[in-house]
Structure 1
């Protein structure tokens, strides 16, 4: 999902989603299979 899709589905602010994605990326919990889309690293 993209950050915009996550924000729309959750009702959360896009900036909060971006912060969470940055944190999860640093922890290597998510990966980007293609530009601007994220998925779990499982």
Structure 2
């Protein structure tokens, strides 16, 4: 029910945050600070 949906929303948010962190780390490794802001 509702609680299950809340858990799913939280999991989705966590996944999005993790993906953004990975993108930032990849961009930093590539030395591309400019592309960092575009991708988010």
For normalisation by structure 1, the TM-score amounts to 0.42
**Higher RCO, 1 or 2 (CA under 8 Å, sep at least 6)?**
1
Normalized per residue, the structure richer in helix is 2
The structure that is strand-richer by fraction is: 1
Higher Cα Rg: structure 1 or 2?
2
